[in-house]
Chain A
Amino acid sequence: MNALLLGPVFVPLLLAAISVVLARNRSLQQLLGLVGSVVAWLCSVGVLLANLQGETLVYRLGGWPPPFGIALVGDLLASLFAVMATTIVAAGVLYTVGCKDVAVTYPAFMPLFLCMGAGLSGALYTGDIFTLFVFIELTVLASVVLVAISDNRLGLEAAIKYLFISAMGTLFLLTGIAALYATFGTLNMADIGQLLAGGSRPLLAQAAAVMLMCAFLLKSAVFPFHFWQPDFHAAAPTPVSAILSSVVVKVGIYGLIRMTTLMFTAEAPLIHDLLVLLGVFGVFFGSLGALRTYDAKRLLAYSTFGQVGFILVGIGWGTAATLAAALVYVVNHSVIKAALLMLAGAIASRTATKTARLSELGGVGKVMPMTGVLYLLGGLALAGAPPLNGFVSKAALVLGGIDAQEWLILALVVGAGLITLLYMTRTWQLIFQQAPSGEVQLKPAGDRQIAPALLIGLCIVLGLYGGPLLDFAARTVAQLGDPQLYIRAVLGG
């Protein structure tokens, strides 16, 4: 059972290696990609099912017992994020298969894409903070190459910027790791959690907390570490930006939650205050930026920036209900945002110049009625309109906010929802309703839209039948409330 944890990490890696060998045969490569992502998904679901039986899966690589060896740990939190990640990655691979970009025909594309997926799962499942760093780097390096080979010539610029900025994240993470190691002599998160719970609070540990937090904030593209994100999304190939904007930013969120619930529980109130502050700023900067930016994909990137703000506010309020709401928000936002980015990419793929610039998208969607319906559903879900999944997460968040009695922030957050509604419906009108300006020449066929259609379907399902997810989030939070559960599962005893 514990070996299931290997699946989401090592199956994609293995298949990536094989598909490098099969560079000449693109369809076989894509088949491998699909197989790899589906197997990863199945394994992560298997871990989740085992979790539901009340089990925390631990796999010790090489058989070395923690804290010396590296362990993969599948508890509820990791499973929640990992199932979400593998789902979106599978959808991304599916989109890649139907994608008309030149970039996806490169032999390197599918292996890198799989590496990105493997890195994601690895970062979520690992119980060791240095391995977390390694997997995050795997994701970053894979995605940075993928954006550099994008059809969009500015992909290269985005790659350079992302590489520089994410190097800062690496720097912070490594500094934090070094500080932790200097203090505790261990890098196992459970072990560190145990030592910290023991009461020793050296100053260096606090500095480490700050550095780790900054690294995770950078991965989540939170103000003021967000600069890479809009550029990246505007330039990346559609499937890559869909993964980045939905799941990769959530790895940072995962790190923050893990940090505040397992390791730095005593510092959590301080971190929470900061998260609320940054979250509110993110909500507004993201929403307003999305209102004014000039490119449909960039708009969605700014929107992610805003939505991550909502999640941070949920985490920052610090009660069990709001943390659960934040978890639900994480999942729902990933599904919505991946679908929307794929749809935006599909629309752009029909234009003659393959651009997502709003000034050139007027009326482009007139010939794509189904896309219009999907995009509208996605936009409404993003804005939290019922009965879609965005509504469930927003309702949970608002209820949590009422319980926490955070009136001012609640009002701000709700107000920002209106801006989301404005920019999503406005772009929808622009793309799908406005009369095309001049002679718009469209390509006869664009990217296939099976993947976004499935994801929007998932939005509707999660909207109408969101109870299980809400329950699961509540259970996860309950488990997080007792870090000893995790520590005992990993260290034994």
Chain B
Amino acid sequence: MNVLFALATGVMFGMGVFQLLRRDLIKAAMGFYILFAAINLLFLAVGAYDGTAPAYVDASNQPDGQPSDPLVQALILTAIVISFGSYALLLGFIAASSRRFKTVDSNELDHLKG
């Protein structure tokens, strides 16, 4: 399973980078999102222990089996929220820039240089 996971994460990263480097800014934003999804996979893979039961803090109501790593889940949660926020902002900016500069081609968005 680990090898599969590692491979999948790697492929995900690769696809994200490819998509990130597209000229179309909207596609590039999708690449951005793929990369963060890959990060989530990575976190899932590095969980300290593979659980068979959800990690609940409440000890009295603990289901049977090895609980999954709660810290990793907290990390993923935070990462999801932050990456979604960035993604949303990015898409908003791209839409605004499409109105302002009449383009979503990243090569044409080169007024700031030198």
Contacts and interface: CB of A to CB of B under 8 A. Distances in A.
A145 B111 CA distance: 19
Interface string B60-73: 00000000000110
A461 interface: no
A154 interface: yes
Interface residues of A, number: 35
A182 interface: yes
Nearest to B69: A185
Interface in A255-286: none
Given A167-B32, A294-B114, A174 B90 contact: no
A451 B46 CA distance: 48
A156 B71 CA distance: 36
Contact of B39 (A144, A161, A175): A175
Contacts of A178: 39, 42-43, 45-46
Interface string B75-114: 1001100110110011001101100110000000101111
B45 to A, nearest CB: 8
B96 A148 contact: yes
B107 to A, nearest CB: 12
Interface in A122-162: 130, 134, 137, 141, 144-145, 148, 153-154, 156-161
B85 A175 contact: no
A182 B32 contact: no
A231 B110 CA distance: 10
Interface string A230-254: 1100110000000000000000000
Given A154-B112, A178-B46, A163 B89 contact: yes
Nearest to B44: A178
B35 interface: yes
B42 A157 contact: no
A164 interface: yes
Interface string B33-67: 00110010011011010000000000000000000
A434 interface: no
Nearest to A162: B93
Interface in B1-40: 20, 25, 28, 32, 35-36, 39
From A153, A185, A231, name the one whose CB has the most chain B CB atoms within 10 angstroms. Answer: A185
Given A158-B112, A175-B39, A170 B86 contact: yes
A177 B72 CA distance: 11
Contacts of B20: 164
A160 B39 contact: no
Interface string A157-189: 111110110010011001101110110010100
A194 interface: no
A181 B112 contact: no
B79 A156 contact: no
Given A175-B39, A175-B42, A161 B112 contact: yes
A293 interface: yes
B82 A163 contact: no
Contacts of B96: 148, 156
B94 A181 contact: no
Contacts of B89: 141, 144-145, 163
A156 to B, nearest CB: 5
Contact of A157 (B36, B79, B90, B111): B111
A130 B100 CA distance: 37
A479 B111 CA distance: 47
A243 B97 CA distance: 25
A156 B92 CA distance: 10
Contact of B97 (A144, A157, A164): A157
A137 B71 CA distance: 19
B32 A164 contact: yes
Contacts of A161: 109, 112
Contacts of B111: 154, 157
B93 A163 contact: yes
Contacts of B78: 130, 134
A171 B35 contact: yes
A163 B86 contact: yes
A192 B36 CA distance: 25
A185 B79 contact: no
A262 B102 CA distance: 49
Contacts of B48: 181, 185
From B20, B78, B79, B83, name the one whose CB has the most chain A CB atoms within 10 angstroms. Answer: B79
B24 to A, nearest CB: 13
A160 B25 contact: yes
A182 B109 CA distance: 39
Contacts of A158: 112
Given A171-B35, A174-B79, A157 B101 contact: yes
Going nearest first, the 4 A-B pairs with the smallest beta carbon separation are A182-B46, A231-B112, A178-B42, A174-B39
Given A156-B93, A167-B86, 15 more contacts: A148-B93, A157-B101, A163-B89, A164-B32, A164-B90, A167-B35, A170-B82, A170-B86, A171-B39, A177-B75, A178-B45, A181-B48, A181-B71, A181-B72, A293-B114
17 contacts: A134-B82, A137-B82, A141-B85, A157-B97, A157-B101, A157-B111, A160-B109, A161-B109, A164-B32, A167-B35, A171-B36, A174-B42, A174-B79, A175-B42, A177-B75, A230-B112, A235-B112
